[in-house]
Structure 1
C-alpha cells in the first residue's frame, strides 16, 4: 500500500533539493525512488534529496556522534554523495524552520555528513559552512563538448572530489555543452564534479578574488550551482595565482554568487563557503 510522505523543496543559489524529514530513520529510499522523485518531468524535480535523520538512528550517522542531525544526501540518480555545500545550508534552514534546531547570529550548528561533521554558522548573507581541510589532488585531462582540445584540470578534494579547468574567456565558458558528461583521463576512483572557470580581469578587487564558473555534477549533470564546486574553483584559482593570492573569493555561478574564504587553523587550511538558502514550498508524495 502506498505511503504518504511529507516533503519540502529548497534551494541554494538554484541548486535545488527535495527535503524529507525522517528523524527516526523509518524511510528507506531506494536509488530508483530517489531518481523518480528528482525527475523534473515525472517527479517533484531536484538536483538531489536531503533526508533529515538523527545521527544516532543510522549506521552512517553513528560516525558523527558530535552532531545530532545527519544529512543523508543523494544525487538525482539515487547515488550517495559525501557532501553538498549548498545542501548543508538548505538542510540547516529546514531544521530552523521546522523547529528541530535553534541558531542565533554568530552561533554554529554541527551537522553530520559522509565527509564528517560540518559546522554551519548563521551569517549576514545566509549561512557559512566550514567544509574542513582541503587538499590538492593529481591533475586530470578533461575533454568536454564545446572545447576544441582537451584541457588540464586541477584535482581538488573538499570532502568530495572535484576537477577544476581554467578557460580563456567568458565566450568559451558559455559555449560549453554540458548536456554531455565531460570525459576525465584518468578517471578519479570515485568520479568527480567538474568545474569550468574563468578568472575575472582584474582577478582581485579590494582584497577579494573573483571568478565565474559552470559545473557538471557527477550523478546529476549541469546544475545552476555547486557549493563544494565553488570552493574547489576558488581554491584552484588561488593556487594558480601563487604567493600573494587573497584568502577571500567571490564566485559567480548561473544561480547567483557565493563567498569562499580560507582560514588557517592549527590543523591546516580550512575552506569556508557562505551564501543564501531558501525553502520554496511543501507538499506530499506517495511512495510505492
Structure 2
C-alpha cells in the first residue's frame, strides 16, 4: 500500500531538494523511495532528498549530539540516486529555512542554529544573503587525480579537497572552455578516489580580485546527482583551490558564480584550524503530498 509523504520543495541557487519531516525516524527511507521522490518525471523532482529527523532518533545523529547537545535536528541527506552524502552546503541552508517555516526551530539575528550532519555539527546564522553556514575545517586530500570530461580538450590535473565531503577541482583557461564541457556524462577520474568525489570546473575572473574579493565561475558534476545548477560545498572547494593556486596574496573572501546564481565563501582562522563558510539564499517553493 502506498505511503503518503507530505513534502516541501526548496532550492538554493537552483540546487533543489525534496524535504519532509520525520521527527522520530519511523519512515523507511529506502533508496527506491528516495529515487521516487527525486524523480523529475514521476515524482517531485530534486537533486537530493532531505529528511528532518531528531538527532536522538537517528543512528548517526547520536554522534552529533555528543559533539553538540544543542544540535536537536539531523539533516538526513541523500542524493537523487538514493546514495548517502556526508554534507550539502546549499541543502543545509534550505533545511534551515524549512525548520524555521515548520516551527521546528527558531533563529534570530545574531543567534546560531546547530544542525547535525554526517560530516559533524554545522552552525548556521542569518545574514544579508539569506543564511551563512560554517562548513568547519577543510583539508587538502591525498587524491589529486587526472580529470577527463567530454568536450574538454585533453585531461587536466585535479586538486583534491575535503570540506566534509570529497571534491576534485579542475582549473580551466576560459569561460568558453567552461561552457563547452558536456556534464551529462560523468567526468573520469584517474585514479578514482575511494569515496568518489564531486568534480568542480572553475575559471577565475579577470581581474581575479576586485575590492578585496576573489571572483570565480564554476560548474559542477555531483556524485549521485549529475550536473546541478549549484553546489555549496563545491563552491567552497573551488574558492579554496583557486586561493591555493594563487598563493599567499590571495584573499580570504570569494564570490562564486554558478549557473543558478551566486554564493559567498569566506575562510577564517579558529582555535582548531582554518574554517570555511558559505553564504547564500534559500527558498521554499511549494508544498504537497505524494503517494510512494
TM over 0.5: yes
- 1:32 deviation in Å? 1.3
Tell me the SS of whatever aligns to 1:148. coil
Distance 1:97 1:27 in 2: 21
1 CA distance for matches of 2:107 and 2:80?
A: 29
2:40 maps to 40
Distance 2:125 2:161 in 1: 24
Q: Render the CA deviation track for 1:10-43: whole Å, top value 9, x for unaligned.
A: 0000000000100011111111111121111111
1:155 and 2:141 are equivalent in the alignment = no
**What are the ranges of 5 or more consecutive residues in structure 1 without an aligned counterpart?**
none
Matched residue, 1:132: 136
CA distance in 1, matches of 2:74, 2:200: 27
Quick check: 1:215 aligned with 2:220? Answer: yes
Structure 1 segments, 4+ long, off by >3 Å, are: none
C-alpha displacement of 1:286: 1.0
Query: Are the equivalent residues in 1 in contact too, given 2:23–2:54 (CA < 8 A)?
Result: yes
**1:56 corresponding residue in structure 2:** 56
2:274 corresponds to: 269
Query: Aligned partners of 1:70 and 1:217: how far apart in 2?
Result: 22
The number of aligned residues is 287
- 1:98 Cα shift? 0.6
User: Which runs of 5 or more residues in structure 2 are unaligned?
Assistant: none
**TM-score scaled to structure 2, two decimals?**
0.97
Q: Does 1:240 align with 2:245?
A: yes
Partner deviation per Cα, 1:36-91 (whole Å, 9 max, x = no partner)? 21111111110000000000011111111121000000000000000000000000
> What is the CA distance between 1:3 and its match in structure 2?
2.0
- On the 8 A contact 2:43/2:290 being kept in 1, the answer is no
- State TM-score, norm by structure 1: 0.99
Mapped to 2, the partners of 1:44 and 1:18 lie a distance apart of: 7
User: Which residue of the partner structure matches residue 74 of structure 1?
Assistant: 78
Q: CA RMSD in A?
A: 0.6
Tell me how far apart the structure 2 counterparts of residues 267 and 249 of structure 1 sit (CA, whole Å). Answer: 22
Distance 1:271 1:249 in 2: 11
Distance between the aligned counterparts of 1:222 and 1:134, measured in 2? 23
